[in-house]
Amino acid sequence: MKIAVPVKDESLTFFGNAGHTPHFAVFEMSGAGMFKSFKLSELRRNPRSDLDHDHDDDDHHCSHGHDDAEHIAQHDKMGKALEDCDYLVVSRACKNTANTMKNHGVSIIKYDGADRSGEAILRQLAAKF
């Protein structure tokens, strides 16, 4: 099972807005029950070409219309890049991210905790996978 976590960079610091993250850390989950473990498989750059990746998670403000065809197409690039994943962990996601993930068979898991480490977040959410 593969789980994508939006992260800022190689530090695997969680980036809550999945649609605007610079990268996705893709983890492979193994085991079952209380013996689940997560191993980093790869770090993927977010393929959306309409993003300015030089902002922090909390500093981003969208200036586009959510029904704009080009905006939806950009989200579809992201969906295609993650379609081999079973789950995407998010703190925030717009309706286009949610629709795109659903169309590509990726389930969204919401994370509201304080941890910023991708691996720590997965351990907290383990029961949901």
Q: Tell me the per-residue pLDDT of 44-95, one tens digit each, with 9 for 90 and over.
A: 999 987 776 555 555 545 555 566 788 788 889 999 999 999 999 999 888 8
Question: Which domain range does residue 56 map to?
Answer: 2-128
Domain count, the chain: 1
Quick one: which of 5, 70, 80 has its CA closest to 42? 5
For residues 53 and 35, what is the distance between their CA atoms, to the nearest angstrom?
A: 36
For residues 76 and 107, what is the distance between their CA atoms, to the nearest angstrom?
A: 15
pTM passes above 0.75: yes
Average pLDDT of the chain is: 88
Q: Are 42 and 15 in contact (CB under 8 A)?
A: no
Kindly state the tokens that stand for 62. Answer: 């969208």
CATH number at residue 77: 3.30.420.130
Which three-class secondary structure state does DSSP give residue 15? coil
Q: What is the largest CA-CA distance in the chain?
A: 44
